[in-house]
Amino acid sequence: MGRNLVQKILEEHLIEGEYRTDSEVGIRIDQTLTQDATGTMAFLQFEAIGIDRVRTKRSVSYVDHNMLQTSFENPDDHRYLQSAAARFGAYFSRPGNGICHQVHLERFGIPGDTLIGSDSHTPTAGGLGMIAIGAGGLDVAVAMGGGAYFLKVPKVMRVNLTGKLSPWVTAKDIILEMLRRLTVKGGVGWIVEYGGPGVENLTVPERSTITNMGAELGATTSLFPSDEQTRRFLEAQGRADDWRELKPDQDARYEQTMEIDLAELEPLIAQPSMPDKVVPVREIEGLEVAQVCVGSCTNSSYMDLTRVARIFKGRTIYPGLSMTLSPGSKQVFEMISREGSLSDLIAAGVRVLESGCGPCIGMGQAPPTGTVTVRTFNRNFAGRTGTPGDRSYLCSPETAAATALNGKITDPRKLGEYPLVNLPAKFIINDNMVIKPPENGGDVEIIRGPNIKPVPRKEPLPDLLEGELLLKVADDITTDHIMPAGAKILPLRSNIPAISEHVFVAVDKTFPARARAAGGGFIVGGLNYGQGSSREHAALAPMYLGIKAVIVKSFARIHFANLVNFGIVPLEFDDPSDYDRLELGDKLKLGDLHEGLLKGEVYLTDETANVRIKLIARLSERQARIIKAGGLLAFTRAGV
């Protein structure tokens, strides 16, 4: 039996364990990326591990999230990151150079390499044929130090693309179709590998839009083969030597196969407030819109923005609507400026923002109260825009442009002839905003502002945990629910005591105070708990508040790993109906934990209701030992 592409790359990087579905393996990591919302903590953790120099082939520290400098916290973080990158041997992408995923695709990604990043949309680089995985910052810090990245070998789903996209139907519509079919839970435990004759017509920027939003499926990662399209993209980036052909064997095995005929797709849109609430645009045409935002790491490439500019040429956006545009990188910004697309956008009334994440993470551009905002982003979780009760829709840049012209959701096929935009034969290459590390960084002083606090530590796990049920939540709780983003909270990412005051405030404003008063306790949740961002603060800050265990029906992958990394016991109901037996305020007890975590079975005693409930610990032996040690930092330091 032949090998699929995932198996080929993972086996090439295997350094511990056996490649077998659901078995834990350790893989060698070639590249890492961090961004400023997660990177300060990742570098603080790297310092705490005690390793003097980055040991990957390449690690890059980006500044793209916390760009607003309304106070000292964000600029202080940027100075810390630049000095830490120089000290420890990482490349530093300066503020203004662009969004990490877009820049990494352009300048650093290499087919067949492995990449982990402290951002859930790291799988964007799968568009180049990489195994690129989002992870918590502590996992990235360990990989920066040369440690293996551990994961359970996922099942591999082959998505066979046939046919060719019709005019006005885009790569964004392909991934929205995937979300419509699979939902935000459907990719958990899977890697999605795209193939088939339809792949040949998709450029790398189009492929990366699809792999980017594989994160919304819950997939470990997604990837395309490295083929002629990949070679053409890397050659245009002046990196032809980085290309190599990568494809699955003809008789490769997959656990599941899905077929998508691209010719049958039409423009799609995700309704509030989840990326899988997907319907055809034509079904909700006419809905009045107050704001349109184009950009983010999903749809801010040269091809995306140039096409929007050609749609707008000689036109004006609707009078009652505000529109913003965020170029994905300095390269994109410079190219649309030089060729005239930028002036067409400005003339149409578009508000052009800097190259950064911006509105996608609630860092500015909140929509008006009670209105609809249409965005080309990857997430529309409730409140993520910064406006309570927001109504956020996700679509392609073409649908967004048609909507901006008409002031209401509009099927872009009504705009007439489709503006064709080809991949440039050569991109503008100017890496002057990327700072290479010195050969020896030992003399570099690390600059720390007053908001940068040490990494909190956790004591080893006792054999008995007791406490109160502090919070009970429903299905599909996101990391935005647990640890909100936005312009008010993101600047506190380097200060765990301060940011812990915001844990779960979107669900229950009293939670931080109650958790402190009770000396910590337990959280109970439903299905897919912790979906969304890789932000380890959604585990680290609850740990600081004393959360001892989280008991749910099922976990999202990255959040589960982050709970393990910070010594919080992640447990699942053996019988999901037992969720209904637990009530807020109940006194809970977990005993015989050291043995139970290794066996995979733990019993919960609810002393208030006088019931005993069986729980499942889906932990490897290594993960059980990490929790017992008090988390990955303590576990790693003990082995350094």
Of residues 586, 589, 611, the one with CA closest to residue 602: 589
The answer on 383 and 489 residing in a single domain is: no
Is 93 marked active-site? Answer: no
Work out the percent of the chain whose per-residue pLDDT is above 90: 95
Model pLDDT for residues 334-357, shown as the tens digit of each residue:
999 999 999 999 999 999 999 999
Residue 104 lies in a domain: yes
Residue type present at position 581? R
Integer Cα distance of 77 and 450 in angstroms: 10
The answer on 488 and 559 residing in a single domain is: yes
| Banded model confidence at residue 282, pLDDT cuts 50, 70, 90 | very high
Number of other CB atoms surrounding residue 254 within 10 Å: 17
Of residues 210, 205, 195, 200, the one with CA closest to residue 164: 200
Mean pLDDT of 615-634: 96
The answer on 248 and 301 residing in a single domain is: no
Is 104 marked active-site? Answer: no
Distances (CA, A) of 576 to 114, 511, 524, 616: 36, 25, 11, 11
**Domains in the chain, number:** 3
The answer on 272 and 245 residing in a single domain is: no
The answer on 233 and 274 residing in a single domain is: no
Spell out the residues 6+ positions from residue 169 whose beta carbon is closer than 8 angstroms to its own: 262, 265, 266, 267
Model pLDDT for residues 60-86, shown as the tens digit of each residue:
999 999 888 889 999 999 999 999 999
Secondary structure (3-state) at 43: helix
> Of 13, 121, 207, 379, which residue is the catalytic one?
379
Residue 362 lies in a domain: yes
Residue 431 lies in a domain: no
Is 23 marked active-site? Answer: no
The region, left, alpha or beta by phi > 0 then psi within -120 to 50, assigned to residue 298 is alpha
Integer Cα distance of 616 and 599 in angstroms: 9
The answer on 259 and 299 residing in a single domain is: no
The answer on 199 and 96 residing in a single domain is: yes
The answer on 128 and 10 residing in a single domain is: yes
Enclosing domain of residue 112: 5-264
The answer on 230 and 277 residing in a single domain is: no
Is 502 marked active-site? Answer: no
CA 578 to chain centre: 31
The answer on 332 and 204 residing in a single domain is: no
The answer on 232 and 118 residing in a single domain is: yes
Integer Cα distance of 495 and 216 in angstroms: 28
Integer Cα distance of 325 and 333 in angstroms: 11
Residue 53 lies in a domain: yes
> Of 30, 36, 64, 276, which residue is the catalytic one?
64
Integer Cα distance of 511 and 515 in angstroms: 6
> Of 119, 139, 586, 606, which residue is the catalytic one?
119
| pLDDT surpassing 90 at residue 186 | yes
Residue 299 lies in a domain: yes
Integer Cα distance of 312 and 402 in angstroms: 9
pLDDT at 539: 97
Among 264, 279, 294, residue at a domain's last position? 264
Q: What is the mean pLDDT of the chain?
A: 96
Among 245, 264, 283, residue at a domain's last position? 264
Contact 396, 52 (CB under 8 A): no
Is 533 marked active-site? Answer: yes
pLDDT at 70: 86
Among 216, 241, 264, residue at a domain's last position? 264
Q: What is the CA radius of gyration of the chain?
A: 23
CATH number at residue 208: 3.30.499.10
Residue 433 lies in a domain: no
Is 64 marked active-site? Answer: yes
The token pair that represents 57 in the structure block: 């082939």
Contact 133, 101 (CB under 8 A): no
> Of 448, 535, 537, 557, which residue is the catalytic one?
535
Residue 488 lies in a domain: yes
- Write down the residue that tokens 């969720």 correspond to: 579
The answer on 213 and 150 residing in a single domain is: yes
Residue 445 lies in a domain: no
Contact 275, 378 (CB under 8 A): yes
Strand partners, 160: 195, 259
